[in-house]
Amino acid sequence: MRELKIGIIQQHNIADTNDNMRRLSKNIESLAHEGAQLIVLQELHNSLYFCQVEDVNNFDLAESIPGPSTDFYGKLAKDNNVVIVTSLFEKRAPGLYHNTAVVIEKDGTIAGKYRKMHIPDDPAYYEKFYFTPGDLGFHPIQTSVGKLGVLVCWDQWYPEAARLMALSGAEILIYPTAIGYESSDAKEEQERQREAWITVMRGHAVANGLPVVAVNRVGYELDPSKQTNGIEFWGSSFVAGPQGEMLYRASNNEEGTQLLVIDMEHSEQVRRWWPFLRDRRIDEYNEITKRFID
């Protein structure tokens, strides 16, 4: 059994970026003290979810990579001997920005990064205004704790993204995310949406024989434009095993941290029982690259 001790931090963010980072720092140190080897943070964890509005001033939140945040989390990783999955607003060049996950190795260096590939554009989620689609492909990031298949939020709905990570040797799928309820939806519809979000990622675990970690933000964030009623982020961060089994599920309305132990060798056994990769008809999948088959 090759154990991996994973820490997750589900947090409610406020307008004070320094306070958000201070609380993350405290929780990272606490989880590392408990023995965490890998800590996963939520999407765009330094700030409020600014994509509720289209405002050019929000580009001031972006930063270079390497930059201040990678320095900050790099020091935390090194001081606490832990790998950290961060989620940052990257300024690549003037007028060119990405939603970028950066994996920090336990020695404080950058192990690799992934730029979010699927970019939504919906009321209160105006991400196409801010983020250029990623161009780094679906490639796992090699770290001292294994090959991490890091994807970001909207990517989680796409089986192709999970599959390509798995085919490239990912040992675990990781999703920093920021998703919540639309207040005008009925409670029953809100429940269906949250459960669909969990179910689709558990499906990725089953289809690829890999554990899945999803870390979401929690709590209410106001829409500055007041065009909507804001977002109530639904939390529910979770960890599932390679058969989709639920190993942990966080509250849907409260902050929290959790340390979990995953057997990283179990995927090998599951894939022997269910050899989905062996039985793929790769000679018949050419049309998958089409937008729609008429």
How many CA atoms lie less than 13 Å away from 190 in the CB half-sphere? 16
Tens of pLDDT, residue by residue over 198-216, are: 999 999 999 999 999 999 9
CB crowding 207-239: b at 16 or more within 10 Å, else e: bbbbbbbbbbbbbebeeeeeeeebbbbbbbbbb
CATH of the domain at 138: 3.60.110.10
Whether 271 and 251 have beta carbons less than 8 Å apart is answered as no
- Asked if residue 293 is part of any domain, the answer here is no
Instruction: Classify residue 126: in a domain, yes or no.
Output: yes
Query: Tens digits of per-residue pLDDT, 16-41?
Result: 999 999 999 999 999 999 999 999 99
Residue 44 pLDDT more than 90? yes
| 47-79: pLDDT as tens digits | 999 999 999 999 999 999 999 999 999 999 999
Are 201 and 28 in contact, with CB atoms under 8 Å apart?
Answer: no
Q: DSSP for 202-259?
A: HHHHHHHT--EEEEE-EEEE--TT-SS--EEEE---EEE-TT--EEEE--SSS-EEEE
The per-residue pLDDT for range 91-139, each reduced to its tens digit, is 999 999 999 999 999 999 999 999 999 999 999 999 999 999 999 999 9
Average pLDDT, the chain: 97
CA 149 to chain centre: 10
Report pLDDT for 109: 98
Residue 184 has pLDDT above 90, yes or no: no
Q: Give me the pLDDT at residue 99, please.
A: 98
Whole-angstrom distance, CA of residue 216 vs CA of residue 103: 17
Q: Is the pLDDT of residue 165 over 90?
A: yes
Q: Is 116 a catalytic residue?
A: yes
Q: Which residues of 40-64 are buried (b: 16+ CB within 10 A; e: fewer)?
A: bbbbbbbbbbbbbbeeeebeebbbe
pLDDT of residue 1: 80
Distances (CA, A) of 230 to 47, 126, 141, 222: 15, 13, 34, 4
Q: Is pTM beyond 0.85 here?
A: yes
- Asked whether 28 and 84 are in contact (CB, 8 A), the reply is yes
**Does 290 reside within a domain?**
no
Q: How confident is the model at residue 182 (pLDDT cuts 50, 70, 90)?
A: confident
Q: Is the pLDDT of residue 183 over 90?
A: no
Minimal CA–CA distance to 150: which of 23, 42, 258?
42
pLDDT tens-digit series, residues 254-263? 999 999 999 9
78 falls within a domain: yes
Query: Has 91 been annotated as catalytic?
Result: no
Which pLDDT value is given to residue 11?
A: 98
How many CB atoms lie under 10 A from the CB of residue 188?
8
Catalytic residue among 5, 91, 106, 116: 116
Would residue 147 show up in a list of annotated catalytic residues for this protein?
Answer: no
**pLDDT tens per residue across span 213-270:** 999 999 999 999 998 999 999 999 999 999 999 999 999 999 999 999 999 999 999 9
The whole-number pLDDT of residue 164 equals 98
For residue 242, being part of any structural domain is answered with: yes
Q: How many CB atoms lie within 10 A of CB 149?
A: 27
Residue 288, phi then psi, degrees to nearest 5: -65, -20
- Could you tell me where the beta strands, DSSP code E, fall in the chain? 3-10, 38-40, 83-93, 96-104, 110-115, 121-122, 125-126, 141-143, 146-150, 172-177, 180-182, 212-216, 218-221, 231-234, 238-240, 246-249, 256-263
Q: What's the structural domain count of the chain?
A: 1
Evaluate whether residue 226 is within a structural domain. Answer: yes
Active-site residue identified among 105, 106, 127, 153: 153
C-alpha distances (whole Å) from 76 to each of 114, 139, 198, 261 are 20, 25, 30, 21
User: Do the domain assignments include residue 14?
Assistant: yes
pLDDT of 6 strictly over 90:
yes
> Residue 158 belongs to what domain range?
3-279
**pLDDT value, residue 40:** 98
pLDDT given for residue 195 in this prediction? 98
> Is there a domain that residue 227 lies in?
yes
* Catalytic residue selected from 43, 127, 171, 221: 43
